[in-house]
Structures are given as C-alpha cells and as structure tokens.
Amino acid sequence: MHLTRRPAVSLAAATVAAALLLAGCGGGDDGDGKSGKIEGADDAGKKSSSGPEKSGSGSEKKEPDFRTSDIKLPDDVKLVFDWDQPSDPEKAAALDGAADYMRALVHGTVKQDSKDPVLAKHVVPLQSAQEFATTVVKMDVKDGVTATGKQRYYREDIGQVVDGKLVEVAFCVDQSEFFDRKVKSGKVLRTEESASSYMRYTLVMQKPDQGDRPWKARTFEFEGKAVKQCKG
C-alpha cells in the first residue's frame, strides 16, 4: 500500500480514486492532486501544534508514538507518529482517531481485506475517507501486494472543533522507507526517495455519538509531492 504510487485527491467517487491511484511506484511522474474544501471544515481554524523541527526527511532523531493502539501490525511494518499530544482532550482524541485511521488502512492491506472490520471501525460509512481506504486496499489485493518498512507521520496541524463534533487534522507523511511487498513471493518492491515520497494528508475527524468510541475519519484530502511543506 505504498501510496506514493497512488496520488489520490479528496474523493468524490471510487471510480475517480481508482483512476488516480494507478500512477507508477515511488519516484514516477505521478503528479499531485488536491481538491477544494473538505466537508465539515469550513470554519476549522488551523492551530497549531507543529511537531519538532526536522531536517531532511523528518525521519531522524527520536521515533516516538504518542499513544498506544490495539491495532496490531506485522513486525516488519512500523508506523511512527512523531506528533505532540494536544492538551485539549477533544483534539487529542481526534488525533488519536487520525492515527488509528492510518493504522487501520495499513491493517486492511496486510489482511488483504477491503471489508476489514478493523478498518470499518475507524471510518464514517459512505464518506470519502472510507472510499479512499477501501479503494487502496482493493487495489493492493488486486496487485497482490502488502506493506513493509517504516512510514513516518509528522508536522501535524489540528483545527478547532466545529459544531462540537468535527476537527480537521492535517499532517505530513514520509514514505521514503515504506514499500510494497509481493504477497506470494515476498519480494520487496523498493523505490528510490523522491519528491513523491512526501505527502500532506488532511482528514476531517468526527466525534462519536458514544463517548467510549474512537473518533472516526470522515473526509480525506491528499496532496502529493509535498516537499515544500514536509521536507527541510
């Protein structure tokens, strides 16, 4: 599920996503895409809580995870969330939910199941975050690939809580050490670091109706080749 080869924008339909996600792996000329405003975030003011300053890829120094999760991934898959924990409990819960959405997306690929119940638990049904994740997993299954390596998430921004239930969360993604691996042969499809290794994701997280449930990803935006925002 090496998303550098799948430059998806905020999705209006799965067919659009499927077309956009077919770009070549790693450093290919896949372009970048970014849609307009995301649903539910019109009034979300950007905070914010930038992570530690990075040089290069943002993958050096410490490798913290700001929280634990019950989503289990294989030992050869490492997701590093180099994020600061917000003091506001609702923003912290929204950030928790964003991390688990990314974990759940990878979990679906690892399980080779676009209907993975772990993934379903972390998305709002019939919204673009679900649409994107389901499309990516389906294509990984079709291509016979799973994930391996390390993916880093950093330089987070958290908006204000809108209508008491929606929060925009944006962050950088470094996939320079994250690769596809063939399920049958185990061959790792390594790619060279390039501009396509750096992305900026924007999620709108939705507060659950029941307080003990996780915040879920509602909408999704993607900006590819985000070198200016995410490297240096």
For residues 185 and 57, the model is more confident at 185
> What is the C-alpha to C-alpha distance for residues 126 and 53, in angstroms, rounded to an integer?
37
> What is the C-alpha to C-alpha distance for residues 5 and 30, in angstroms, rounded to an integer?
7
Contact 37, 203 (CB under 8 A): no
> What is the C-alpha to C-alpha distance for residues 135 and 19, in angstroms, rounded to an integer?
10
Which CATH number fits the domain that encloses residue 64? 3.10.450.50
The string of pLDDT tens digits covering residues 34-59 is 333 334 343 333 333 333 333 344 44
The string of pLDDT tens digits covering residues 13-33 is 333 333 333 332 333 333 333
Nearest to 159 by CA among 38, 6, 28: 38
pTM equals 0.77
Q: What is the average per-residue pLDDT within 141-163?
A: 96
CA distance readout (Å), 94 to 37, 55, 61, 138, 170: 19, 27, 26, 26, 11
Contact 24, 224 (CB under 8 A): no
Instruction: Assess whether pLDDT exceeds 90 at residue 12.
Output: no
- Which domain range does residue 81 map to? 3-230
Return all residues near 170 (Cβ < 8 A) that are at least 6 apart. 46, 156, 157, 200, 201, 202, 203
Percent of the chain scoring above 90 in pLDDT = 66
- Nearest 5°: CA angle at 102, between 165 and 30? 115
Distance of CA 198 to the CA centre of its chain: 12
- Look over the chain and give the mean of its residue pLDDT values, rounded to a whole number: 79
Return all residues near 159 (Cβ < 8 A) that are at least 6 apart. 41, 44, 45, 46, 47, 167, 168, 169
Q: What's residue 2's pLDDT? A: 52
- Nearest 5°: CA angle at 202, between 26 and 122? 95
Domain count, the chain: 1
CA distance readout (Å), 49 to 46, 96, 125: 9, 14, 29
Q: What's residue 210's pLDDT? A: 81
